[in-house]
Every structure is written in C-alpha cells, then in structure tokens.
Amino acid sequence: MDSEQQIFCGNCNQKLQILSEPCESCGSVKKNIVLELVDKFEFELKDCLDGKVINPSLRSKDKMREKFTFGASQSANGDWAEKTRIINRDKDYYFEEVKNSKGEIIHHSEEKLSDHKGHGTDKFNNPTSH
C-alpha cells in the first residue's frame, strides 16, 4: 500500500514542510494533515455474450428459434472456462465446446438437436436418460 502525507496550516491553509514548526506565513501552530492511502489491485475482466433469436409470430413455446452463448463461464471448482454453445431449432443443430483456462478442450458436443436428449433440464423429464 502506498501513502502520501501533506501538511497545511490550520489557520491560513499554507502548505508546510515541517510538522513541528509554526507556519512561516501566519505563525499559527494549528495543523491540518492530509493522509492519502492508495491500495492497488489487479483483476482480469471476463465477459460473456448470451443471446436469442425469436420469431414473435409463433406460439409462446416455439418462439425461441436460436440461443447462443460465447464467453467466460465459471465452473464449480472456481476455474474459468471459455464456453461456446449454439442451439438452433430451425437447423436442428446443437454445438457446445468448453475450454479450460489453459485453452484445452474439456468438453465438445456437436449433434442434431433432436438427438440431444437427457441433458440439462431434460434429464429430469426424460425417464429413459437415467
């Protein structure tokens, strides 16, 4: 932590050099001491883009046509990973790739969306996926 101290006369606000001596301008012994403490820290900015393509003319259940995620995601162990996920209903396409902080692929899945069953919330709704 860095610190900086400045001393001013408590009467005329003249900047002083020596704390123990009276003000050279007005002779006052009153002092105002300004102490500035600066603590520096560094962090790495993480970002993630999530989006949807929606067709408003369709019924509520079918409006979402494409969903995507690109960017940083924190795993349960606290490590950061880069995730890419594309779900496209119109093209019957599912893609997901996750890379760890070293850039190594730790998960890759690319298949027809209609074949992508028993994952996420579907694993609780699909008794054949257990």
- 22-81 pLDDT per residue, tens: 999 999 999 999 988 888 888 888 999 999 999 999 999 999 999 999 999 887 788 899
Q: Is the pLDDT of residue 129 over 50?
A: no
Distance CA(80)–CA(48), nearest Å, equals 12
With cut-offs at 50, 70 and 90, classify the pLDDT of residue 112: very high
Main-chain phi, psi angles of 88, to 5 degrees: -125, 110
Q: Is the CB of residue 5 less than 8 Å from the CB of residue 34?
A: yes
Whole-number average pLDDT of the chain: 88
Residue 122 belongs to what H/E stretch?
helix 122-125
| pLDDT score, position 65 | 96
pTM over 0.95: no
* 99 within 8 A of 80, measured Cβ to Cβ: no
Domain definitions of the chain by residue range: 2-38, 48-129
